[in-house]
Amino acid sequence: MTVQIAGVASTPYGNHPDSSTRELFTDAALEALEDASLSVDDIEELYAGNFIGDLTDDQAHVGAMLADYLGARQAASMRTESACASASSAARSGAQAIAAGDADVALVGGVEMMHTSGLAEVTDALANAADNEYENEAGLTFPGIYALMAQVYMDEFDATNEDLAAVTVKNYDNGISNPIAQRQEETDVESVLESPPVATPLRLQDCCPITDGASAAVLVSEAYANEHGLETEVSVVGSGQSSDSIALQDRPDLARTRAAERAAEQAYERAEISAEDVDVVELHDCFTIAEILAIESLGFFERGEGARGAVEGETAVDGRIPVNTSGGLLAKGHPVGATGVGQLVEITKQLEGRHPNQVDDPTIGLTHTVGGSGASCVVTVLRAGGA
């Protein structure tokens, strides 16, 4: 059964001191429903990504809480958690439910409130995505983990700090035109290299910010769209999900994300496409090195060649394979439980021709979301064309 995207929405990403987890999610959900020309009463199943809410909000049972506040008490509700890939897992679950014939309308989304806690508490909460015994107890945080990955990559392939900085420059530039982006500012390679050091070789502008935000999408079956006269323009045509060792030390190659490779292979096979068919990508650039590893894992560049993507303009909006036209996590922001569906929103808008950084006539888009340092990954393929 074909899965259609009937409506999408994201709140602004940034700092929302006057809002809450339930309010942000409801804002995104109601806007997505309006975009779909549907109502809360039409929702049969609700899947919501949320990673650290039970630590920062003292709130578990998040799925039911969000369904209750939204007024969708009739819907089956579930919170999905896969670290930063939580919302992508929610979207995949909703699409699977529709494809299996278990539902005709699923609301999928994600939400995270990260500014309600101090930096130390948020850092400690995010560290739950790493291996507590072998990484956290040794003093590693995610900037340190990704710095190790960057060091290995740079040593093996002669990549430079300037190569990393080019990713930031590109994504910051894209974020300027995105009205929901957290960082709407210009930068250049020199400014990135002069920003405060975080974990060698990563500097502050190599890292994504702490973010509040929510995103939502309404998925429907093709039969439902036809029966109710919904003008859908985008279909979910393939997805893949895979895992890897949660601790970095247990991986045979620190400069390779094998979960992403496997998830991409599954998604391409199910969508009956190859990497060469993809026109636009939203991927997980929590740190600059993460984007470089991702474009290699997804098959857009050979191993060791990804560092030239931003430097040579191949991943620019008008490049061979546009990557993170939204600004990505580096500029748009990274509300960890919402990011995956936020990517889905951006790609849907690209395929519908209504994105602020519109790519020329895209047909196939892809999202890629990583949990932790690569212990889990979800890849989703979307195609222009609806019911």
Whether residues 81 and 135 fall in one domain: no
Q: Is residue 192 part of a domain?
A: yes
Q: Is residue 123 part of a domain?
A: no
Burial 123-148 (b: 16+ CB within 10 A, else e): ebbbbebbbeeebeeeebbbbbbbbb
Q: Is residue 279 part of a domain?
A: yes
Say if CB 284 and CB 339 are below 8 A apart.
yes
- pLDDT tens, N- to C-terminus, the chain (387 residues): 689 999 999 999 999 999 999 999 999 999 999 999 999 999 999 999 999 999 988 999 999 999 999 999 999 999 999 999 999 999 999 999 999 999 999 999 999 999 988 888 998 999 999 999 999 999 999 999 999 999 999 999 999 999 999 999 999 999 999 999 999 999 999 999 999 999 999 999 999 999 999 999 999 999 999 999 999 999 999 999 999 999 999 999 999 999 999 999 999 999 999 999 999 999 999 999 999 999 999 999 999 999 999 999 999 999 999 999 999 999 999 999 999 999 999 999 999 999 999 999 999 999 999 999 999 999 999 999 865
pTM: 0.97
Give rounded-to-5 percent helix, strand, coil for the chain.
40, 20, 40
Q: Is residue 124 part of a domain?
A: no
Whether residues 171 and 26 fall in one domain: no
Distance (Å, rounded) from C-alpha 250 to C-alpha 254? 9
Q: Is residue 374 part of a domain?
A: yes
Whether residues 40 and 160 fall in one domain: no
**pLDDT in the model for residue 79:** 97
Distance (Å, rounded) from C-alpha 317 to C-alpha 170? 9
What phi, psi does 101 have (nearest 5°)? 85, 10
**pLDDT in the model for residue 327:** 98
**pLDDT in the model for residue 387:** 59
Distance (Å, rounded) from C-alpha 109 to C-alpha 96? 15
The domain tally of the chain equals 2
Neighbours of 39 (CB within 10 A): 12
Whether residues 318 and 221 fall in one domain: no
Find the CATH number of the domain harbouring 14. 3.40.47.10
Q: Is residue 148 part of a domain?
A: yes
Distance (Å, rounded) from C-alpha 205 to C-alpha 23? 30
Whether residues 229 and 256 fall in one domain: no
Whether residues 294 and 359 fall in one domain: yes
Question: Pick from 281, 268, 260: which is nearest to 347 by CA?
Answer: 281
Distance (Å, rounded) from C-alpha 126 to C-alpha 358? 33
- The residue from 235, 250, 278 where one domain ends is 235
Name the residue range of residue 359's domain.
129-208+237-384
Whether residues 369 and 242 fall in one domain: yes
Q: Which residues form the catalytic set?
A: 84, 334
The length of the chain in residues reads: 387
Whether residues 189 and 215 fall in one domain: no
Whether residues 185 and 300 fall in one domain: yes
Whether residues 194 and 50 fall in one domain: no
Distance (Å, rounded) from C-alpha 282 to C-alpha 8? 15
Q: Give residue 230's Cα distance to chain centre.
A: 26
Whether residues 154 and 27 fall in one domain: no
Distance (Å, rounded) from C-alpha 226 to C-alpha 212? 36
Token readout for 341 is 């569906």
Say if CB 28 and CB 214 are below 8 A apart.
yes
Token readout for 206 is 């190599």
Residues 6+ apart with CB under 8 A from 239: 92, 95, 266, 267, 270, 378, 379, 380, 381
- The residue from 235, 270, 291 where one domain ends is 235
Whether residues 275 and 324 fall in one domain: yes
Say if CB 38 and CB 6 are below 8 A apart.
yes
Strands (E), 191-327: 197-199, 202-203, 213-221, 234-243, 280-282
